Amino acid sequence: MQEGLSIIAKLRPYIETSWLIQPFLTSRIALLAVIYSVWTNKIMKHTSYDAFHVLWTKPYMVNGKNFCMNDAELLTMVLSALMWQKYNGTIKLYTDNRGYEFIREHGLLSLWDKGIDKDVLENNTYPIDPEIFWAAGKLLALENQKGSCVMLDTDLIVVRSIHEKLEQTVITALHSELLEPDVYLQPCLLKQPLDFQFPESYNWTVAPSNTSFLFIRDENFKNFYLKESKQFMFNNYEKPKELVSQMVFAEQRMLSICADYSGLPVSYLITDPFSVSNRDVIHLWGFKSLLRENKKIQILYVKQLLNTVGKELSANSFFLHFLKIHFPNQLINQLTN
């Protein structure tokens, strides 16, 4: 009912200035409201993008650690899902049994409008070391997706519609990365499975792509990318000196290498992750470590997020219920006043 009144309110100024016969006014407004509604729904169906989050707890629980998220991380994940639904489409969650229990304990089972899948990650038997390849759960989930989709990190919020940016692209990642030699190692320094060799066709000069956001339209490319990545990760158990280089190669550098080989351009949502001109996304990225170490900074971040992105969801009943359970009343007051 409210949506119908909103549509009529938008149309009334245009109709009242052009139609002079009052008895027919109401029926004509109603007719145009229906036409407008159908047209809007058609456009939304055309531009809606299916996204997914991944909450793979297995890497966190290596060496007996317990999985947890602080308030800032939890709020960011909730806003990530809700803002995607508001502006860009649907979203689902891939998790495992421990992740599902965490979500249930925090009252978030209905956050993802496309539901929750815990079978893909819980029952997967691929020979992948979760400590070395801590983001492999994202690739397992991507493998299960059919058709074009968006892989969206739980610490990344897309704050506006990006339909126009995606509709003309085949591959879109968050941003390109510099080939930092301490992060993106030379092939001779990467740990490899037994009897594995890098193909001569790999172009090691292409810039890696940050996959905190990843849109792939082409199913054949997606399958090729995942095949190459899995060949590197499977049975690759030798521990590196650090736990970054192996994963970022398998996920981020591999994406660009496969795109280059396939002759497909990689587009990016933003050009510079550190630029103040970025208006499309909020990404916790390495800031997570600081939030985990400093409670005061965590509180400031939560307040700022509520006062900016949170205000866009001030009429969202799920979000208001979430705030009531997890955050102090003064923060809710800041949001709703």
Q: What is the Cα–Cα distance from 31 to 332, expressed in whole angstroms?
A: 40
Q: Considering just the CA atoms, what is the radius of gyration of the chain in Å?
A: 23
Q: What is the Cα–Cα distance from 300 to 304, expressed in whole angstroms?
A: 6
Q: Is the pLDDT of residue 116 over 50?
A: yes
Its pTM stands at 0.84
Helix H or strand E encompassing 187: none
Q: What does the pLDDT average to over 215-226?
A: 98
What pLDDT does residue 44 have?
44
Percent of the chain predicted with pLDDT > 70 = 83
Q: What does the pLDDT average to over 54-65?
A: 91
Q: Tens digits of per-residue pLDDT, 139-172?
A: 999 999 999 999 999 999 999 999 999 999 999 9
What pLDDT does residue 329 have?
59
Is 153 or 18 the better-scoring residue by pLDDT?
A: 153
Q: Which amino acid is at 291?
A: L
Q: Is 88 helix (H, G, I), strand (E, B) or coil?
A: coil
Q: Tens digits of per-residue pLDDT, 79-115?
A: 999 999 999 999 999 999 999 999 999 999 999 999 9
- 55-59, 95-99, 212-216, 276-280: which range is least confident on average? 276-280
Say which residues have a Cβ less than 8 Å from residue 296's Cβ, sequence separation at least 6: none
Q: Is the pLDDT of residue 63 over 90?
A: no
- 144-153, 181-190, 231-240, 269-278: which range is least confident on average? 269-278
Residue 278: pLDDT band (50, 70, 90) is confident
- 27-36, 38-47, 117-126: which range is least confident on average? 27-36
Q: How many CB atoms lie within 10 A of CB 124?
A: 17
With residues binned 3-state (H G I as helix, E B as strand, rest as coil), the percentages for the chain, rounded to 5, are: 50, 15, 40
What pLDDT does residue 284 have?
87
What pLDDT does residue 334 have?
54
Is 165 or 274 the better-scoring residue by pLDDT?
A: 165
Q: Is the pLDDT of residue 264 over 60?
A: yes
How do beta strands 171-176 and 149-152 pair?
unpaired
What pLDDT does residue 2 have?
44
- Phi first, then psi, for residue 233 (nearest 5°) are -80, -35
Q: Convert 290-317 to b/e letters by CB count within 10 Å (16 or more is b).
A: ebeeeeeebeebbbebbeebbebbeebe
Q: What does the pLDDT average to over 197-202?
A: 96
Q: What does the pLDDT average to over 311-327?
A: 93
Q: Is the pLDDT of residue 22 over 50?
A: no
Confirm if 155 and 283 have CB atoms less than 8 A apart: yes
Place of tokens 């509604």: 37
Confirm if 255 and 266 have CB atoms less than 8 A apart: yes
